């Protein structure tokens, strides 16, 4: 097997896994964010942030992008009016806007975290100051 195939597989698997996690977290959060206001939306947003950081640590920015695409896609689909007229994210409610905007901000926070937080390299020791 060539090196190119191995590196493509190494980038593809974490991205597909992150896409699936984004779909799952988006669906669960959309269903649960209004349960116990405001604590449920705070917990759901914390879960979005934690899973976005997991996606970035697992597969880098490509996996985080896949996570974000999955999360946004499922949240936007579930925000539409259902066949029976039901709505999971009603327009005009602050808690719904908090879920939509807060989730996107949580993914952006994971994207802008320092790269060294996700590096496996051991930092070089700092030399001791003379006289100490």
DSSP secondary structure of 3-38: HHHHHHHHHHHHHHHHHHHHHHHHHHHHHHTTSSTT
**CA quadruple 18, 110, 76, 30: dihedral sign:** positive
Which position has the token pair 């976005």?
A: 52
**Rg (Cα) of the chain, in Å, rounded?**
19
Q: What is the mean pLDDT of residues 88-115?
A: 92
The confidence score (pLDDT) of residue 1 equals 47
What residues contact 81, with CB distance under 8 A and at least 6 apart? 87
Least confident of 67-76, 78-87, 115-124: 115-124
Question: What is the Cα–Cα distance from 53 to 57, expressed in whole angstroms?
Answer: 6
2 pLDDT above the threshold of 60: no
Convert the pLDDT of each residue in 82-100 to its tens digit: 888 888 888 888 999 999 9
5 pLDDT above the threshold of 60: no
Convert the pLDDT of each residue in 11-70 to its tens digit: 788 999 999 999 999 999 999 988 888 999 999 999 999 999 999 999 999 999 999 999
Question: What is the Cα–Cα distance from 89 to 42, expressed in whole angstroms?
Answer: 15
């Amino acid at each position: 097997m060539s090196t190119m195939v191995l590196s493509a597989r190494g980038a593809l698997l974490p991205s597909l896994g992150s896409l699936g996690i984004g779909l799952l977290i988006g669906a669960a959060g959309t269903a649960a964010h209004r349960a116990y206001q405001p604590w449920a939306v705070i917990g759901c947003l914390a879960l979005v942030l934690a899973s976005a950081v997991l996606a970035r640590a697992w597969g880098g920015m490509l996996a985080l992008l896949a996570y974000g695409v999955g999360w946004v896609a499922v949240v936007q689909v579930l925000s539409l009016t259902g066949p029976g007229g039901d709505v999971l994210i009603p327009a005009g409610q602050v808690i719904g806007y908090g879920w939509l905007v807060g989730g996107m901000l949580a993914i952006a926070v994971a994207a802008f975290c320092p790269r060294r937080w996700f590096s496996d390299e051991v930092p070089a020791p700092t030399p001791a100051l003379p006289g100490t």
